[in-house]
Each structure stands twice: as structure tokens, then as C-alpha cells.
Structure 1
């Protein structure tokens, strides 16, 4: 029987983190363990975990802040069970999460990843579907949500066209993730980079439609002009072009062509133009337009 390492890289809101932990504790079975890696300095957090008195929960606090990718990798290093989940510290597992994942792995035992059904919620926990999630569902995600197994170039084409996965809800094969880890030179798109590594290594993705996870999407903070400096899109252009070269070298030429177009990323920049003009003026608009046009940095 598979065993599950549920990893929680934590930084930020204490209350939301505690809700996330409680949602994990509501899982059934004795085949899982929760490992929390605290990358912050909130004073009452260690005591709260000690008060739980639950042997299924491990808590670690980093001596120095590792940042997002660094803390992801620290979590992965600590994983010992066959499968892992790297959930967001403000997301919620439904009580049926592990039940759904277990059933998917029974159906598709060789799958390297499992993507279950996801409910998107806002900062208050209410169901919401903004433009990004509507595009995922209507434009990029498979029309048949499963149960199904996706693999090789067809999956690469689908994800390079638009990443419709919900990374914190995915259950991963631990050894596969530990082989590649998260790229620390990427600040936004490191999840898709890892998935590409896994696909090129021959891993497959199991889809199952039953909803068992709430992914929290907060309102995007656009109060700072730095949000529209173009750096996040420079990273995206660099990644998709590198990915295209790797896909070509692997013989997946159709996927490489899709990656070079990075259409979903360009559409995202297009939707941000009005806010960019309001918050960052012509510099912000110029950064968005440059990405929409697909110009090289």
C-alpha cells in the first residue's frame, strides 16, 4: 500500500496555515504523515504545533529563510514515503483527498503524478472563478477530466499551450521529484519546469475528476509598480524558449513549436495591460506589450 508524505512549506498567515493543517488532520487512514517546514519567524507557531501532540505531524523551522524554491526543496529532501503532496500553506484538503488519490493510483499504478478535481476559493474561502481559472478550464484543460492517463508529447503540448494543473493539489512520486528538485533560478514558473523534467524522464499524469482539494487564489496585489516591471514575463520567455530547445532535442517537435509561442503567457500579459497602465504608467504597459509581442529580452 502506498504511503503519503504531505509536505507543507510555510510562510505567512498563521490562521490560514492552521486551517490547512486541520484539513490534513481530517484525512482518513494511517498511511500518511504531515511534515511542516517553517520558513518564517512567527513567534507562536512552534508552540502551536507542540500543543497538537500528534505523532503524525513533524514540524521544522529553518534557521535561515530559504525562499520559495529553497523551502520546496527542503521539504522534498525530508520526504521518506512513496508519494508526496506539496500543498500550499493556505490551501485546504477535503476529507476525501487521500481517498481520491488512493483510488487513482490503484487505477493507474505507474503514474508519476495525480491531478485530482480542484475547487478554487478566494481569501475568505468562498468559491470563485476569475479569468485565469476560467481560461484554464475552458481553453487549456482536457475536455474529458478523466479518469484518464496522459503522457509523453500529447501532455507536453497541452501544458506548453497553457498550464492547467493546480500544482499544490498534485500527488507526486517521491523518488521522481527528488531526482530533479525545483530550480532556484525560477521564481514563478518552477512548478512547470519540474513537470517538464518529469515528462522528459517518462513520467505520466493521472487525472481524476472528483473534487477533493481547495486551491486558494488571493486577489492579486497590484499596488506596486514592480508587479509590472516585466521580470516575471522575462522569466517566462526564458523558460519557454529553453523548454522548446529541450523538447526539440527530445524529438517532440510539435511540443517545441507550441512552447516557442508561449501563447497563454502572452495572453496573460495582455489581460494585465489596463492595470499596468494604472499602476506603472507607460513603463508597465511597455513591459506587457513587449511580452505580448514575444520580443526577446
Structure 2
């Protein structure tokens, strides 16, 4: 494996217009040391394949699966196909700011021991405008460590922080390929698989480098898959199950503070409580009951 370039994978299933914007953002990187692979999960639209071919860039590979396998399988495909020492699995509607590749490669050169790199993130809406949602304000202003220079985190303190509230942005992360291949995605936790995988990496002794300065734009949709799952309460049922598992994993490592954080699941519970007005408005008693139970920790 070479460490002179970044492998960027885009698992694709979604709006072709957003997808073209994502690919365009890769093409406009200030640092040309990247390779892009689009893994099309059998999306029923031929325009993306035609668009990729029309670019004629040898750094770009397009793969179309014969049948839809789902996002977790597409993540696995991406990690398996990586050829370089660093890999990023980007959302098919997100935007890499022009300095993204440069930021990741410089961070790796300065901190070669870091297994995961979290760059600074800007949040945008459906129209590409910068927004400040309640969720992202909490992630960036309350939960995320405040820093003016890169900071390397690991061990129980990192696990405890993320279990109190996940302040990472999965699509923006870059990984050492060998490190992410040492774990697997948990099929039983599709909606929270990003935190589950990163926690498994931390439990293996892996480290996370947090880099200041924005280099990635994360698109927060009004009607995302996660928001729809929130509305019917299923997301919180999945989160509760995962935090129970995480508490057991932390206990097995004798990480008492991390175990307590997983059992408290504070921000997850507060999130459920903050959505109670919407549940009341929807008049869905089942969802309302799920939100209340999760929020109260029962």
C-alpha cells in the first residue's frame, strides 16, 4: 500500500444531482493525490455511470453492483477495495471542500500514528447553505473538544466522550486502511454502525486525531433516513440496544467511566425528549411512548 495518496470511496444510492456535486468536489481538490471509486448500489438511474465515463479521469473508478445490497455492504466493499494506506468513505450527497485531501494527507504526515482523522466540518442543508441545527450546535460547541491545533485522543477518555455524545461526522473521517480493516461493521446496528465501528477500533487501542479548520461540508437533510427513523422511534430503540452492548464491552475492559457513559446515554436521551413535541403533534402514541421511555432511561 502507498501512503502518498488518499483513497476516496462514495457508496452511491440517492439523488444523481447531489452525487455529481460530490464527484465535482473531489475533482476540485487543491491536492491531486487522490483516487476516487464510486460504488453504485444498483441505483436505477444510468446518468451517473455516463457522467463518470464522460470525465475521462484515470483516477476515477466506477463500479455498479448487480443488485442492491444496502449501505453496510457498500461500506464493506469500499474498505475491502482500498489500495492506499488512507481511506475515506464519503456520503453521496456531501461536499469535500477544496482543502480536504490536503488536510488529511498533511495530518497523516505530521501524525503517522493516528488511525482515524477527523477534520473540521461545516454543516449544509438541502440547498447547500450553511446551517446551524440544534444537533450540530451540541456536537460542535458542547461535545467536541475545543482546540486550536491537532489533538490526538485514544483510550477510555475518548470512549467516554463519544458515549456521552457522538460528536464525530462519519462521512468526513479518514482511516488508516489496515486499522479499519481490523474491525467489521455490526449488521445489527445499521443506524448507529458508525459509532459502533469506531468504538470497536478504540477498544482495540486505535487513536483519533482531531484537526481544526473546516475542510468538509456535511449535508443535513430535512427528510433523511435517520430523521424518518427518529419520527417512528426505531432509531432510539436501536441506540438503546447498542448502548447496552457498549456498556458490556467497556466493563470487560474495566473502563468504568465509559461504562457509566454508555448506561447514562445522556445526549441520546435528551435528543428523544427534545422531539416529544413532534411526537405529540403526530398523534402517534407508539412513537410517543418510545420517546418517553428512551428519554427517561427506562
Q: TM-score, normalised by structure 1?
A: 0.94
Does 2:100 correspond to 1:97? Answer: yes
Does 2:254 correspond to 1:245? Answer: no
Q: Counterparts of 1:230 and 1:219 in 2: how far apart (Å)?
A: 17
Partner of 1:144: 147
Contact 2:6–2:105, Cα closer than 8 Å, also in 1: no
Partner of 1:38: 40
Query: For residues 108-257 of structure 1, what are the structure 2 equivalents within 5 Å?
Result: 108-144=111-147, 146-220=149-223, 227-257=230-260
Does 2:34 correspond to 1:16? Answer: no
Contact 1:91–1:214, Cα closer than 8 Å, also in 2: yes
Q: Counterparts of 2:149 and 2:198 in 1: how far apart (Å)?
A: 19
Tell me, which stretches of 5 or more residues in structure 1 are unaligned?
none
Contact 2:164–2:262, Cα closer than 8 Å, also in 1: yes
Contact 2:19–2:92, Cα closer than 8 Å, also in 1: yes
Q: What CA deviation, in whole Å up to 9, does each residue of 1:115-136 have, x standing for no partner?
A: 1111100010000011100111
Give the secondary structure class of the aligned counterpart of 1:115. strand
Equivalent position to 1:48, from 48, 51, 54 = 51
Give the secondary structure class of the aligned counterpart of 2:216. strand
Q: Counterparts of 2:229 and 2:175 in 1: how far apart (Å)?
A: 34
Partner of 2:87: 84
Q: How many residues align?
A: 294
Tell me, which stretches of 5 or more residues in structure 2 are unaligned?
none
Cα pair distance change 1:125/1:235, threshold 3 Å: same
When the two chains are superposed, the root-mean-square deviation of aligned CA atoms in Å is: 1.7
Contact 1:228–1:288, Cα closer than 8 Å, also in 2: no
Q: TM-score, normalised by structure 2?
A: 0.94
Give the secondary structure class of the aligned counterpart of 1:124. coil
* Deviation, structure 1 residue 146: 3.4
